[in-house]
Amino acid sequence: MSPRYLLLIVLLTFSSCDDSSTPGEFVNEPLILTGNDTYNEDQCGPDIYPCPPYGTRQYQTLRNIPFLPANSAAEAMAEDNGVSWLSYFYLLREEGYQLLHITLTAEWCDVCEAQMNTLGAMVNQYGFLADDPRVAFLGVVTENDSLEDASLEVASNYSASHNLDDLVPITNDENLAFRQLMTSASYPFNIFVDLENMEIIGYDSGLESEQIFSQKLDEMLAFVQ
């Protein structure tokens, strides 16, 4: 069974609902919390991933989103079935990591180039290449040059063209799981997540220089300490 098919099954399992459900119950709808009773001790807990309720907005806890790897950095965090999860980043807090930075970008986005070209420097300063790594990074390529949903191949090519293959995990956006987190239709869109509880703690638009990017990461790190 291919990783893409497995991911589709996972996404349907975590986001499906029936017509009898009350509005605002399931995490696949924006601005929603869920207390899904199907979660058990094997799926969430202090050593696995924060338990529900989950949401899609600031100060709400992200659900454990599955995604497919588009580069070698993302493949390194995938499970045996080829699917990666946000829970990988949650476990990094045991190594001293405090913050997850998620960038949503698009192949057609010219103004995204400045920020994407600074990611390598941020990994050196704050990520796994730093002496004291505290920030994990994830890149999500949402659309191609034709404004269509980006395929895994598009995301892979995007990673290669920005020299991110071994630096930052990159994926596309299967089933709009990450685009549900956006509060505005502008790219690049940055999301900052507290790894202690997987809560969204902040947003920002283009971080187009190393100085601006670094200042924002320092601000978010100060918030979670």
85 in any annotated domain: yes
Which residues are CB-contacts of 89 (< 8 A; sequence separation ≥ 6)?
97, 100, 136, 138, 193, 195
Phi-psi region of 2 (alpha: psi -120 to 50; beta: other; left: phi over 0): beta
The neighbour count for residue 12, using CB atoms within 10 Å, is 11
161 in any annotated domain: yes
33 in any annotated domain: no
Task: Give the CA radius of gyration of the chain.
Answer: 17
Tokens representing 59 are 């100060």
46 in any annotated domain: no
Q: Give the model confidence (pLDDT) of 189-199 as tens digits.
A: 999 999 999 99
Give the total number of structural domains in the chain: 1
Q: Give the model confidence (pLDDT) of 152-187 as tens digits.
A: 999 999 999 999 999 999 999 988 999 999 999 899
pTM for the full predicted model:
0.84
9 in any annotated domain: no
State the Cα–Cα distance between residues 23 and 46, nearest whole angstrom: 29
The whole domain housing 189 covers: 62-224
178 in any annotated domain: yes
The pLDDT value recorded for residue 192 is 99
The pLDDT value recorded for residue 225 is 86
Q: What integer is the mean pLDDT of 191-220?
A: 97
State the Cα–Cα distance between residues 224 and 8, nearest whole angstrom: 33
Q: What integer is the mean pLDDT of 35-55?
A: 77
51 in any annotated domain: no
What CATH number is given to the structural domain containing 81?
3.40.30.10
Tokens representing 174 are 């299967």
44 in any annotated domain: no
- Range from 10-14, 96-100, 196-200 carrying the lowest mean pLDDT: 10-14
